[in-house]
Amino acid sequence: MSTEDPLLKVRSLRTAVNVEGTDYLIVNGVDLDLHAGETVALVGESGSGKSVTALSIARLLGRSLRTVDGEAIFDGKDLLRLTEREMRALRGRAISVVFQEPMTSLNPVLTIFTQLAEIIRRGSVVGVDVRARAIELLDSVGISMPHTRIDMYPHQLSGGMRQRVMLAIAIAARPRVVIADEPTTALDVTTQAQILDLLRLHMSNMRAGMLLITHDMGVVARYADTVNVMYSGSIVERAPVRELFARPAHPYTRGLLTSIARLDRPRVSRLPAIEGLPPPLTERPSGCPFQPRCAYRIARCSEMPSLAPIAPTHHAACWRATEVLEGVSPEPERVAVEAAP
Amino acid sequence: MAAAAGNPILVAKNVCKYFSGKGSWFGESRRIEAVDQVSVDIAPSETLGLVGESGSGKSTFARAILQLDPPTAGRVMLDGAAISGLSERQLRRLRRDMQMIFQDPQSSLNPRMKVGSIIAEPLEIAGDILDRRALRNRVHELLDLVRLPSSAAERYPHEFSGGQRQRIGIARAIALNPKLIVADEAVSSLDVSIQAQVINLLMDLQREFRFACLFIAHDLAVVRHIADRIAVMFLGRIVELAPSDTLFANPLHPYTRALLDAVPIPDPEVEARRARTATPIMRRRYPVQLDEVEPGHFVAPSEPEPEARQ
């Protein structure tokens, strides 16, 4: 773990959506640190707020959303307080974003070369051979016949190829921070492995930091250094990757890990599932949002636990984190019974 | 375990589905062999998993055997009766015995119909139950089987979560007690923790009602959990077929190995120690030939067909 100052420091981030005149917090107080050379995963299921967290930091929120609190310090500046112009200068250079759906983030009426050239020129000194650099980039992301493909339009390439182009664009200006939002979710598993391997290689070469948003615990296990688990707008657990998987300290993390089918273990007759559903945005209970589904629930849970350290690098937002960590089983009468979702 | 024990519920023999269309952006016309000479059978109460990536033909195969997009060639038999080449009228009588669960619960449930009507629809079409009260009881019984409250019958699909909508789809699929259920990426769009719930439900229902199941998915860990045997498809053809545990313990075909190599295991210790040694796969088909290398374990040749025959 790096002891230098973080590249990116996010504190108390709160982003809301306005529904019929009322603001509801999708991101409810998130803190994050990202160091050079590190991959920090932000993992959660639908409605956790992980994507909106990333979009908030990159200042790419849709119109119905707005960040209402917090700061995101990068290079001495608070990203949340820059003008759109200042942010645009950073995006695509010092800070890159890779999205899930390349068809909507690549310009369909421009060739691959045109789109790459723009970024290369922004990040380079005068005199660089833009076309040669572009071909080199395409090659470095595993695109075969780059000198032919470079003059094609996005729709002429397969989904996997387009995502490789996205990757090339993301690294073209040698960014210090890459924010990758479910970058491979829409791809075949073999393509996913290739893209993520390439991303890791380039991150390492550039000593950049990556914020990786995903729902896939396999991807987390293979690529992340530090993991933040999000549930209903809050980070409920944070730990180095091995620590999180070996000793989960939050009931949600524990439930999530045991409900995943694994290829490397014998089949079990039933997958232990977490019954119930996350609360709708407009009906979040006061206190811990996981209460209705939590076997460890006690009266005190109506008071929201803070993300507190249970070990030097391991934080959990649960009053009973130590018990969860030690595998103490919850009292039977605490088990919440819900209608099956 | 090569042929299903007893009489298989489903027999597919050399099923092909070809499309003619523009092969490339140059505009030349070319036959696209989306499914090419696929043969499988499924026993009663058995789940056959079908895995493959995009372009493997697995969904096209499913639609072909259900006669939704009838095969170009080959034979399909359901419980001993031929279902390929039948007229629509003859097919209609047999459709009750084979049902499908789709990936997207949003688009496969009519948003304008109440859940109760959606589930009752196959019963009404089949004309099994004519009495309104008996129909309502059957709908409640089905909702109960999929662990949804009776009150769900009066609500609309959009009022439910993805996992709940999938349960509604399952209730509709089992309404007529079919012999075969085809689940096409039935849990892929669900959150991981919800997938477990729906998978458990499907397996419980199969134990109770003993239907055969063709389970199509790209998530290998899920398929391995639910399926008894698994067929791996690549570019329209089967490259390996084996009992689940055998396939994962001893994958023989280079494509199967590449696939397994690519799947990250949710365990950082395991991942750190893994040697990912499979050779990368090119986009070339393997010959249509399955050799039984050990009982029940079939593998296609490891060398792709020469360039000219692609």
Higher-confidence residue of B281 and A193: namely: A193
Q: What was the pLDDT predicted at A265?
A: 78
Residue A103 confidence class, pLDDT cut points 50, 70, 90: low
Region A265-285: what's the mean pLDDT?
82
Q: Which residues pair with A43 in a beta bridge?
A: A214, A229
The ipTM, to two decimals, is: 0.84
- Integer-rounded Cα Rg, in Å, for chain B is 20
Q: What was the pLDDT predicted at B298?
A: 97
pLDDT in tens, A64-83: 899 999 999 999 999 999 99
CB contacts under 8 A, A 66-105 vs B, are none
Q: Is a pLDDT exceeding 80 seen at residue B3?
A: no
Residue A100 confidence class, pLDDT cut points 50, 70, 90: confident
Percent of chain A with pLDDT over 70: 94
Q: Does any CB of chain B come closer than 8 Å to the CB of residue A107? A: no
**B168, B157 Cβ separation under 8 angstroms:** yes
Q: Where along chain A do its domains lie?
A: 8-230, 232-262+271-339
Interatomic CA distance for residues B181 and B173, integer angstroms: 7
pLDDT in tens, B227-257: 999 999 999 999 999 999 999 999 999 999 9
- Work out the minimum CA distance from B275 to partner chain A, whole angstroms: 12
Chain-wide mean pLDDT for chain A?
89
Higher-confidence residue of B61 and B306: namely: B61
Q: What was the pLDDT predicted at A42?
A: 97
Structure tokens at B223: 């398929």
A45 contacts B192? CB cut-off 8 A: yes
What is the CB neighbour count within 10 angstroms for residue A163?
A: 28
Q: Does any CB of chain A come closer than 8 Å to the CB of residue B81? A: no
Q: Is a pLDDT exceeding 50 seen at residue A338?
A: no
CB contacts under 8 A, B 128-187 vs A, are 147-149, 161-164, 167
Residue B189 confidence class, pLDDT cut points 50, 70, 90: confident
Residue B145 with chain A: CB contacts under 8 Å: none
Structure tokens at A25: 């917090």
Q: Is a pLDDT exceeding 80 seen at residue A127?
A: no
Q: What was the pLDDT predicted at A3?
A: 62
CB contacts under 8 A, A 248-277 vs B, are 255-257, 259-264, 266-268, 270-275, 277
Q: Is a pLDDT exceeding 70 seen at residue A273?
A: yes
- Cβ neighbors of A204 (< 8 A, separation 6 or more) are A37
A246 contacts B269? CB cut-off 8 A: yes
Which helix (H) or strand (E) covers residue A205, if one does? Answer: helix A189-206
Q: Is the dihedral of CA A91, A94, A97, A98 positive or negative?
A: positive
- Integer-rounded Cα Rg, in Å, for chain A is 21
A8-230 domain in CATH 3.40.50.300?
A: yes
Structure tokens at A253: 């993390």
DSSP secondary structure string for all residues of A228-262: EEEETTEEEEEEEHHHHHHS--SHHHHHHHHHS--
Give the angle subtended at the CA of A150 by the CAs of A147 and A156, to the nearest 5°.
120
Q: Is a pLDDT exceeding 80 seen at residue B201?
A: yes
| Amino acid at position B283, single letter | R
